[in-house]
Structure 1
Amino acid sequence: MTQEYKGTALVTGASSGIGAIYAHRLAKQGYDLIIVARNGERLKALASRLTDETGRTVETVAADLGDKADLARIEGMLKEDRSITLLVNNAGVGGTAPLLAADVDKMQEMIELNVTALMRLTYAAVPGFVTRGGGTIINIASIVAIAPELLNGVYGGTKAFVLAFSQSLKHELAEKNIRIQAVLPGATATEFWDIAGTPVEHLPNEIVMSAENMVDASLAGLEQGEFATIPSLEDAGQLAAYEQARQALMPNLSRTAPAKRYKIA
C-alpha cells in the first residue's frame, strides 16, 4: 500500500547504521529523502535500494559536516527547500578514552560535529518550519547526556548539550506546531564503537541494542508524543520522576540570599 506523502526528510549521518535505518523507515512512512554523509558511494547504494523498495525520491549529498563549506551547503538546502518537513540530526562521533589518553584536537572535532553542526542545521531548518506552519526535528543524543561518567567526558558533554538544546527548543517552539524529539540511545550495534576505539564485541551482549530496534523504538516514541525517548528504558515512570525532580528544582535555583548551609557565622 502506498503511504501518504509526508514531505521530505533530511537525514544526516545516513550512509550506515542508525542514519541508514532512519532513512529506510521514513521512506516507508511516505517521506522523500535527502540523505547526507561523507561516504558518497554508500549513499548512492542506499538510495538505489530505498527507491526500488519504496518508490520514494531519494537525493544523496556527500558532505562532511565538520567542514564549514560542506556544512554551509546543507544549511542552504534546509533554508531553501520548502518540501523539507523533518530533520534528523544523527551525524556524530564518539569517544571512550579518558582525558589523560585523549587527543584534544579530536575532542575539538567532536564538538564541531556533535554540537556546532547540529545547532547550525537546526537554526537553518526552524525558520522555514515556522513559516510553513510546522515541522519535526529528531536530535540523536545518548544516555551519556544524563550519565556522562560512562564514556569520554567530552562526548558526554556534547550529548548533554543536545538534550539541553532540545529541551529549550521544545519550550521555545511549543506554540509553533514544531515537534522536537531527543533520542537517548544506550549502546547500539553500529560502527560507532569501532570508530570510538572500543569494538562493540567487547561490550556485554545484554546492554547492546540493534540499530533497527533502536530506530523503531524512537519512531514509536515520536508517534506517542514523547519529547525524550530512551529506547531501552522499560519503566517510563523513572524518566517522568527524573523530569519531575528537575522541575521541582527550578523555582529554587536563583534567589537573593545564599542557602543557609553556605552562610558564614
Structure 2
Amino acid sequence: MTQASAVLITGASSGIGATYAERFAQRGHDLVLVARDQARLETLAARLRADFKVAVDVLPADLTNPTDVATVEARLRDDARIGILINNAGAAQSGGILQQTPDSIERLIALNTTSLTRLAAAVAPRFAEAGTGAIVNIGSAVGFAPEFGMSIYGATKAYVLFLSQGLGVELSAKGIYVQAVLPAGTRTEIWERAGIDSSTMTDLMDVGELVDAALVGFDRREAVTIPPLHVAERWDALDGARQGLLSDLRQAHAAERYHGAK
C-alpha cells in the first residue's frame, strides 16, 4: 500500500487548522503543524498521535515574521514526505479603513497574503518535479463583498481566490491540484482575536461542518469550494459572466462611451 503523503497545515493550533489536522490524521496522513502557540500545538499533536497513530511534527512559527516564514519554506522545499499544503493561517479585521494603523495593515497583509504566497511558491517546484501534490488556500466569501466594510481583509481574501485560480491554470498540467476554500462566518477564535464579539453574530457555521464540506470538494478536485453557497449555479453564473467580460475587452481602443464630449 502506498503511504499517504504528509500534510503541512498552517494556523493549526485551533479552529479550521486544528480540524483539518484531525481529519487528515483520521485518513492516516502524517502531519506538520505550524502556528505561533507551541504549547497548544504540542497538546494537539500528542492527542492526534495517541488517537490515530500518525507521526506529527510541531513547527512553531509566526508567519508575520519573515525569518519564521523562511523556516517553513525550507521545510516545504526539503521534506519530500509533504504532499499537501493547507494554507490556513489568517487573521480578521476589526473596524474599517479609518480604524486601521500602519502596523495592523502590514500584519494583516503579511499573514493573509504574503506568507500564503511564499509558502505556495516554496513547495510548487518540488510538487511539479514529482508530478503530484495539492495546495489548499483558505479564502473567504468576504472577498466577494466590499459592502461588508472589511476592505483590507476582503481584499486579502479576493487575492487568495485569484492566486488560487491562477496557480491552478499554471500548475494543473504539472499534476498539482489547487483548491480555494471560501468560508463565510465560521465559529472559530478568529473573531475574538480581532476584537469582535462573536456571541452577537448569528448563523455561524460549525468548524467541523466547514472542514468536512471543504474535504468533499477536495476529494472531488474542485477548484473553488464554497461550503455556505447553497445554489452552486450562482458561482457558475459569476464565473461565466467574468469570462464573458474578458471576451468583450478590446484593448487597442477605448470603448465608444468614452469617446466624445461629456
TM-score scaled by length of structure 2: 0.97
Aligned to 2:62, the other structure's residue is in SS state coil
**Cα deviation, residue 149, structure 1:** 2.6
**Cα deviation, residue 227, structure 1:** 0.9
- In structure 1, give the amino acid aligned to 2:226: I
Does the Cα contact within 8 Å between 1:4 and 1:30 map onto a contact in 2? no
Instruction: Pick one of 111, 119, 125 that aligns with 2:123.
Output: 125
Does the Cα contact within 8 Å between 1:15 and 1:36 map onto a contact in 2? yes
Which residue of the partner structure matches residue 170 of structure 2?
A: 172
Does the Cα contact within 8 Å between 1:21 and 1:211 map onto a contact in 2? yes
Which residue of the partner structure matches residue 28 of structure 2?
A: 30
Runs of 4+ aligned residues of structure 1 deviating over 4 Å after TM superposition are none
Cα distance between partner residues in 2 of 1:120 and 1:48: 29
Instruction: Pick one of 206, 229, 233 that aligns with 2:229.
Output: 233
Q: Quick one: percent identity of the two aligned structures?
A: 42
Cα distance between partner residues in 2 of 1:193 and 1:162: 20
**Cα deviation, residue 151, structure 1:** 4.1
Which residue of the partner structure matches residue 13 of structure 2?
A: 15
Cα distance between partner residues in 2 of 1:27 and 1:100: 43
Whether 2:24 is the aligned partner of 1:5: answer: no
**Cα deviation, residue 4, structure 1:** 6.3
Cα distance between partner residues in 2 of 1:41 and 1:59: 13
RMSD of equivalent CA atoms: 1.2
Cα distance between partner residues in 2 of 1:145 and 1:237: 18
Cα distance between partner residues in 2 of 1:30 and 1:252: 48
- In structure 2, give the amino acid aligned to 1:122: A
Cα distance between partner residues in 2 of 1:99 and 1:52: 46
**Cα deviation, residue 200, structure 1:** 1.2
Does the Cα contact within 8 Å between 1:95 and 1:151 map onto a contact in 2? no
**Cα deviation, residue 117, structure 1:** 0.3
Task: In structure 2, list runs of 5 or more residues that go unmatched.
Answer: none
TM-score scaled by length of structure 1: 0.96
Within 5 Å, give how 1:221-260 maps onto structure 2: 221-260=217-256
Q: Alpha-carbon deviations, 1:185-235, whole Å to 9, x = none?
A: 00000011111221211112x2x1011110000000111221111111111
Q: Alpha-carbon deviations, 1:88-109, whole Å to 9, x = none?
A: 0000111030111222310111
Number of equivalenced pairs: 261
